[in-house]
Amino acid sequence: MAMKIRNQTDFATGVLYVVLGGFAAFIASGYTMGTAADMGTGFFPFWLGVILAAIGLAICGSSVASGAPMETLSSWDWKALGWICVSILAFALLFEAAGMVLSIFVLVFVSSVASRKFRWQGAIANAFVLNVICYGAFVRLLNIPLRVWPDPWFW
């Protein structure tokens, strides 16, 4: 019995998640893993990649299920994909000098431009909430020494 992809958009999204998650896990496996109690540099990105790939597999599976809605993939939105890639690159380049807070705001605002439903209020709220979550998780809970605010020379 041949498997039919009923929702091509979800299937393509799932494949993208599997590829990116697998790539992240593969790269992170070259770093020190450690344990959950004593995490090495590769622990978090490795498991994040594995979880992303697992989510991708679940999405692919749901796209071929008999109850999945029929949807064809018309085309890739290259402009939106470009904006998202630029936002990630800007985040990576700014993080060390600009700090976490400003870098996250740039990430959210640049990637928000990719959406046809972009609204300043939503982007501000999203950036604020993401900053609170990242600060709480990485700086407070995990005690990772991240630069939170920009260097004085940055301005």
Q: What is the pLDDT of residues 38-78, one digit of tens each?
A: 888 899 899 999 999 999 999 999 998 888 888 888 787 88
pLDDT in tens, 82-96: 999 999 999 999 999
1-36 in b/e form (b: 16+ CB < 10 A) is eeeebbbeebbbbbeebbeebeebbeebeeeeeeee
pLDDT at 1 over 60: no
Q: Is 50 helix (H, G, I), strand (E, B) or coil?
A: helix
Mean pLDDT across the chain, nearest whole number? 91
* Residues 136, 95: Cα–Cα separation, whole Å: 17
pTM for this prediction: 0.70
Residue pair 25/53 in contact (Cβ under 8 Å)? The answer is yes
Q: What is the pLDDT of residue 154?
A: 67
